[in-house]
Amino acid sequence: MRKTIIAGNWKMHKTISESIELANGLKRELFKLDTQDIDIVICPGFTALAEVTEVIQGSNIQLGAQDLYWQKEGAFTGEISSLMLKDAGCSFVIIGHSERRQFFSETNESVNKKLKAALSEGLTPIVCVGETLSERESKKTFKVLDDHIKNSLMDISPEDILKIVIAYEPVWAIGTGKTATSQEAEEAQKYIRGLLIKMYNEEVASFLRIQYGGSVKPENIVELVSEPDVDGALVGGASLKVDSFSEIVKLASGVKK
């Protein structure tokens, strides 16, 4: 059985003090949940990582970042390395989010380099893939998934692939309030698992966790994670409030027991 994973992507929101407040609130609300049943991850902005690490220390909440650069160190003004993230207390990092692909020229090639850098430092990458609205409407969803999965995961060994999490995030559902139906999510995620069988094998594909992301909220989380290939969620907007994110985590933790 794959362990459910719920991750909150705080994007470019929250000052350091607001981040501490949110992390404290989540810690209070979620302390009863067993990490045997669910992985809970929060991904604040870079400036708040070190402070939030202190807040969640010893709790059932893990820390993630929203991006990294693939070089270990050097003259790369404005960038953050996997070593720096590890040092700030991160164990996860989101890579290839559609907003980075859309606004910051992220490509499958850069995603692949970042993925390797994260793995080399022992960080768990959450690799985002998914189609835009026009790609879905022109029936190119599977073609886009082929491209994102094959090229983002290029040359990743069967041993390393087991250390990553994939997030299927249809771009048209991100921040729009428009969620994919649970059937649409399952169809795409089953397809991704099929690709992983072809690229690796049944065992690897059945082990790997695939989250859904796109307007996840307390009202739709149970239906989504009830699907066999939906192993959790990457949550944007609803992760910014204690009530909605803790509700999503609590509801999700009961589904696959």
* Residue choice 148, 211, 237, 255 for contact with ligand PEP (CB under 6 A): 237
In 112-249, beta strands by DSSP E: 124-129, 165-168, 209-213, 232-235
Among the listed residues 99, 131, 135, 169, the single catalytic one is: 169
- Please report whether residue 216 would count as binding ligand PEP according to CB under 6 A: yes
- Please report whether residue 234 would count as binding ligand PEP according to CB under 6 A: yes
Bridge partners (DSSP) of residue 43 are 9
- Please report whether residue 68 would count as binding ligand PEP according to CB under 6 A: no
Listed ranges 32-40, 41-49, 168-176, 223-231: which one lies at the site for ligand PEP (CB under 6 A): 168-176
Cα–Cα distance measured from residue 110 to residue 176, given in angstroms and rounded to the nearest whole number: 26
Told to judge if 169 belongs to the known catalytic residues of this protein, a careful annotator would answer yes
* Residue choice 4, 215, 246, 253 for contact with ligand PEP (CB under 6 A): 215
Cα–Cα distance measured from residue 137 to residue 69, given in angstroms and rounded to the nearest whole number: 33
Listed ranges 84-92, 135-143, 197-205, 211-219: which one lies at the site for ligand PEP (CB under 6 A): 211-219
The sign one gets for the Cα dihedral 20, 22, 25, 26 is negative
7-36 mask for ligand PEP (x: CB under 6 A)?
--x---------------------------
In the chain, beta strands by DSSP E: 4-9, 38-43, 61-65, 92-95, 124-129, 165-168, 209-213, 232-235
- Please report whether residue 252 would count as binding ligand PEP according to CB under 6 A: no
Count residues binding ligand PEP (CB under 6 A).
13
Assign 3-state DSSP to the chain and report helix, strand, coil percentages, each to 5: 50, 15, 35
Nearest to 131 by CA among 156, 105, 102, 155: 102
Cα–Cα distance measured from residue 57 to residue 120, given in angstroms and rounded to the nearest whole number: 23
- Please report whether residue 111 would count as binding ligand PEP according to CB under 6 A: no
Report CA 197 to chain centroid distance, whole Å.
Answer: 21
- Please report whether residue 49 would count as binding ligand PEP according to CB under 6 A: no
Listed ranges 51-59, 74-82, 167-175, 198-206: which one lies at the site for ligand PEP (CB under 6 A): 167-175
Listed ranges 53-61, 82-90, 132-140, 210-218: which one lies at the site for ligand PEP (CB under 6 A): 210-218
In 130-198, beta strands by DSSP E: 165-168
Told to judge if 13 belongs to the known catalytic residues of this protein, a careful annotator would answer no
* Residue choice 44, 45, 125, 214 for contact with ligand PEP (CB under 6 A): 214
Residues involved in catalysis: 97, 169
Interface residue list for ligand PEP (CB under 6 A): 9, 169, 174-175, 213-216, 234-238
